[in-house]
Structure 1
Amino acid sequence: MRLKWLLLSCFSFLLFALPAQAGKLVFWRFESTQNRLTFTTDDRVQPRAQLIPNPTRIVIDLPGIGLGRPGVNQTIGGAIREVRVAQFNAQTARLVIELAPGYTVDPKQVRIRGLSPTQWTVELPTPERVVQQSPPPFPSTPSTPQSSFPDPPTSPSYSNSSLNDPPSDPTPTPEDNTQPSSTPSDFQVTRNGLVVRLDRNGEARKIQVKRSRDRKSINIDLPGARLTSSLAGQTLPVNQYTIGDIKFEQKSNSTARITLNVSDDSPEWQAIYTQGAVVLIPKGGLNNLMGSSSPPPTSTSPAPTSSSPAPTSSSRPPRSSSSVSSTIESVQLFNNNQLVIEADQGIRGSGNWNSRTGEYEIRIVNAQLATRLRGPRLSRNSPIYQLRIRQESPNTAVIFVKPALGIQLGALRQLSNQQLAIDIRPASVSQVPPSVSAPESIPVPPPANPYNPPPTSIPSTPSGNIPQGRTLVVIDPGHGGKDPGAIGIGGLQEKDVILPISQEVAAILQQQGVQAMLTRNSDYFVTLQGRTDMANRAGADLFVSIHANAVAGGRSNINGLEVYYFGNRTLADTIHRNILRSINISDRGVRAARFYVLRTARMPSTLVEVGFVTGSIDNAYLRDPGFRSQMAQAIARGILEYIQRYKL
């Protein structure tokens, strides 16, 4: 008896300890042409939202909502980098819209709207570039020392962890460009490989690399990829990494080809897609090729002379040329409003903006980096987002400064003979679009419901009660292609209304573990026989045909929902009931009919007329993506209830 009591106590404790999740995120979609995120939950939710900088992202939290599946990342492109959906904690699902580097939005212009307690949209204003005035370069003076010999090829970057320089990454970065200025910017030779910008990436698993029999050329075919207009048809010199030149061809609308003309001893090369580009890297890496790309720097230090004093600090590296007269010993941030570069002797520099990377590049000639370079520790709220430094050549050092959003850099100026400085201050409104340097809340008003659904709650359908992967439902968007279906007020066509509804129904079913098949997934024509043949051959468990209604004679007063069946009406009743639970639409009932797709389907079937395109009320609703999405959710919930009840 005592053991039984203990077991019951433990079980009760576990029940109360488990996090309670009221609902699930059943559907989400980002429409890049509208900069709009739409999401649907199966229970009421009041989202919370904020804008977080560095990188700029809109974060939407859904309290009491779970995913019930792994998180998802969707790459968008352009000013919107990606959309992420994940479980933030046990009680909260999180959606994140991350902007591309260099873009921001005004959080006051982000509009979050509840079409219903379970259907929400997030509308972004057009993202704007963070545009800052380019400070003029520090004017050179006659006393500025000049190199007495041509600069050698670019050497690898010098990194210092105290400068928050990221670790070496196999993906080349834009600032590593070493090709002549006449080369198109869409092609770069970097210290980690070759970068080719693309108008469109292809499929990574279909990349084909083939070397000629004489080993002097390597063809890299990229199915599905498209070259930029500045590269197509070009042959450009490389003369590095055992490559003589590189040729770009757009073989067809769906295949791009890159040809490397190489030496006999060149290694095999591989291609890897990154965002908006393909990176070409030799197998085994570039370290073994560095010796053939550029002469090694001299390792001997010239004897001290009166014009070239011997180093007195143990922190200085050996001089590689008698023309190098200074060692950069520190880069420090003072009071978050001034960046100071200090050397052991006189230095001169020039600064220019790189509009592509959003970095201010400070070039200092006749200087080397100290072995133990002192740099600032950049905090989360630092006015500098990233600071990097490298020894570009034996006598030239370059410092890259990327300001945080809303920060303006002043012109590079001579603070003293041994110091260069940049003033840092908040940017004026005229120079950058509104931005934030700390998270800022985005208001989310309570949901309005333009369709006035009844206040009754809709029971959720636990995915755990759905037979995973066994049930197949065929969703049939009627008409299509040459057959527009009914044409209503303002030219609204039936085929355009029902396709997005059908696609969303299928997506919700898939997310709940039910297999879904569409008889058409875009605007093309399918015969009536072809629709039911598809379902019958696939051995579908259910067939749901979706249509929009019409009536002749200008009778715009006729509006409402109709659901049809042939034989057994249970499926029709279940879907009909779920629609009326969540949408206040005129009810024209469940009716028997001998429609071809119903009487020839060999499984339970129904035909849903979601409203009248000719009706003055329904027409306005059917034009609204929010209403269509709500209709899709209701139909999907009816299907899931039927599957759950009858254990399909």
Structure 2
Amino acid sequence: MVSYRWLLLGCLGALLAPAPAEAGGLMYWRFEQSKQQLTFRTEEGVQPKAQLITNPTRVVIDLPGTKLERPTVNDPVGGAIREVRLGQYDEQTTRIVVELKSGYTIDPEKVQIRGYTPRRWSVTLPEPQKREVSLPSASPSGSSDATANRLPASLQVTQQGLFLNLNGNSPDEVNISRAQGGKRFDVALKGTQLPEDLAGQTFPINRHGVAEIRFLQQDGATAIARLQLTQAADRGAWQASYSEVGGLVLLPPPGGNTGSGASLEAVERSAPGAEPATIQSVQLSGPGDRILIRADGPLGAQSSARDDSGGYTITLPQAQLDASVQGPNLTEDSPIARLQLRQQDSDTVAVRVGPKPGVSIGDIDRPREGTLALKLERTPTRRSIAVPEPERLIQVAEGGSGGNNTQQQRSNSAQSSQANKPKPSEVIEQNVLVMLDPGHGGKDPGGRGIGGLSEIDVVGDIAKHAARKMQQAGISIRLTRDDNYFVSLERRAEMANRQDADLFVSIHANTMAANRPDVNGIEVYHYDSSGTGKWLAKNIHQQILRNIDVTDRGLQTANFYVLRNTAMPAVLVETGFLTGRQDARRLKDPQYRRRMGEAIAQGILQYVQQADF
């Protein structure tokens, strides 16, 4: 499956005139499922930023200085890829999101991002992998299962907060700041070196409202150790201080440890002294954001500290397990990896929950009599993806978009930029494939004109001259047909899409009623919603009129099959009227057909230089 879009920009002038310093547009994007590859082009040069975010797993590509000139796009894909989304992240940034289906993940270090030029990029994903998780259902026996990874010796989670053993290395300064709307707290320890088992590492916490903690070491004239605490929601300001015992103490905000801390606020039983309640089921809510404990009578709850294996135990006094108690049917999408029930003594039940990485245990409440609800909070984790510099610097072609001359990559100076402008007849270091489409053929003879002039013969000759001209300039050419045989419209579009052509140009000759020899002239068509198609059509139209004395019937839009079903800028050229008195005489002339083919080629070359392939 191929998802593709050419995006209509505000006006053609934005493409052909020197661009202002404000954000440029996203011109085109496409996702090919068979290649697991996203490609896109922008109006202005861009240096993307990329990251892998979990819950759900998705690759996020931000394009600074780029605007999406249309509403948010949501395109389903298939296989392990759920969908591709495009939206305006902020006023100056377009965001592209490739979201995986639940249960799949990828290695961010294997994501390959390539910048062919500052305007043309591809993002190739590795093969998505199915996550392997242990998913036992709840059982009264509560037998032990695989334990979570233990924290390093230098990091301890206590009932009061977090403790970082710095081996007596007292920081010169301790600064703490909020980020991401209070969902992250950054702690900077000036003059401090992190222990070896912490530097560059990220550890899941799932306590005190903290999903994970990341450690970064910044070396320089003054060493700075940095800690990043990621939490599901803003619970208030953390406190950080150096302790005399040789480490850093991190304390959550007042009341903050009720989220996933050592002890939840107890929920008192509404009917103390009554017979023990019988627990009938422990289930996940529909959205998966709560654990629901249901009984035949009033329930109360207490909590205990998280154990070394990452489990979190809730104690239910004056409760018993029903002999046929039902537990949740855990799947790869569930926020918890395990849930176990145990009759701790004759009137006490223990519920042990094992949250998955990135999931925090939240508050507990009683939504109704006989039901307790334990909140689960998903916190996304983020890993940066390396984005290299583009391989080829932009050269600004005459009549092109001009770009932002403040970018050093585009021009070392205004003078050298002017000196190095390629002429419209030259293409330097281009890697472009153009699909030329001589119309009709075989059982589809096309139009007939004055003196039996055949459209098949005319357009085939024009296409060959256009191909020869572009090949001399270094452009790769494919023809949908190279002789007089039939090719369906569907096949023509399919050929262009399958060969990943950069441009598609269909060549035709027009006809009118036999009693209208006065109708002559060229027409150049593009698809209505394609801004880049219009840009290509304008260049071809301009070069034909510049090189040939011919009647102009103008640029026009059309819903032709080959224009709306090709994944690249597409144009259809009507090179004249076979039934026109002037045009028929000219189109019969081999030298005229050569000039027409070369003029079409010249327009394509001019577009290629301006678009900066």
- In the superposition, the TM-score normalised over structure 2's length comes to 0.38
